[in-house]
Amino acid sequence: MSKIVLYMSPGSCARVSCIALEELGLEFETRVIRFMTGEHKSPEFKQKNPKGKVPALVYNNQTLSENVAIITFLNQIHGQLLPSTNDPMVSANQIADLCFCSATLHPLVTRIRMPAFFAGEDNAKAVQDKAFDAMDEFFALIDKRLEGQQWWYKDQWSAMDAYLYWCFWRVQGAGYHVEKFPHYCAHAQRLEQRPAVQRAIARDNEASSQLESEGLLFKPKNIAR
């Protein structure tokens, strides 16, 4: 098999694809993209992902972006990332679940993490408060589903759990009251016990240290409350 490369940035949603690759036990290289220098918008990187975002996955000399597509693709080739099914409706619902993370949760995560990016420093708190309220509905839904079961799909770990974990972890450090959702908290703790997740986190931490040493680590400001 030709080399697999994951373009990522520490703390970013590329961690979801990184966990998926680690769970599959694939050999791959991570390449760090420096947001602080605008590397993600450079012509070189845009050849990989014209949208100028991470993750981007190079696999068999072809490039794929979007976590949902990367997970679906890797699952088609290697299995293990989603419960196996021949039922088109079950399969479509699995994609709907992943899209819930990428299209509903992720935009709220960004408004919670980086509210000033959307509305400037003066309006950041109002943006974040709105996102907190909107997130409550979805965290309650997730928390209810995780009550009494280990993973999103009961006993079977899936890449959906990795995606839910990244959303949780990202807002946890940004003043969002995750403790209101005990089953989701327990889910995150369970996930962090998995050796593959620990390896993905170690890659992320290594990338953070690298950028820190270059003075290029992006740290969004926490809002005073």
Binding interface with ligand GSH (CB under 6 A):
12-13, 40, 52-55, 66-67, 102
Axis-axis angle for helices 67-78, 14-24 (nearest 10): 10
The count of other CB atoms within 10 Å of the CB of residue 4 is: 17
C-alpha–C-alpha distance, residues 216 and 194, integer Å: 30
Q: Which amino acid is at 6?
A: L
- The answer to whether 160 and 152 have CB atoms below 8 angstroms apart is yes
Smallest separation (angstroms) from ligand GSH to the CB of 9 = 6
- Would you say 54 or 82 has its CB closer to ligand GSH? 54
Residue 16 has phi, psi (to 5 degrees) of: -65, -50
Max distance between CA atoms of the chain, in angstroms, equals 51
Smallest separation (angstroms) from ligand GSH to the CB of 220 = 12
Residue nearest to ligand GSH (CB): 53
Smallest separation (angstroms) from ligand GSH to the CB of 167 = 11
- Would you say 37 or 149 has its CB closer to ligand GSH? 37
Smallest separation (angstroms) from ligand GSH to the CB of 13 = 4
Q: Which amino acid is at 83?
A: P
- Would you say 33 or 124 has its CB closer to ligand GSH? 33
Beta strands, E only, the chain: 5-8, 29-32, 56-59, 62-65
- Would you say 22 or 66 has its CB closer to ligand GSH? 66
- Would you say 154 or 221 has its CB closer to ligand GSH? 221
Smallest separation (angstroms) from ligand GSH to the CB of 123 = 19
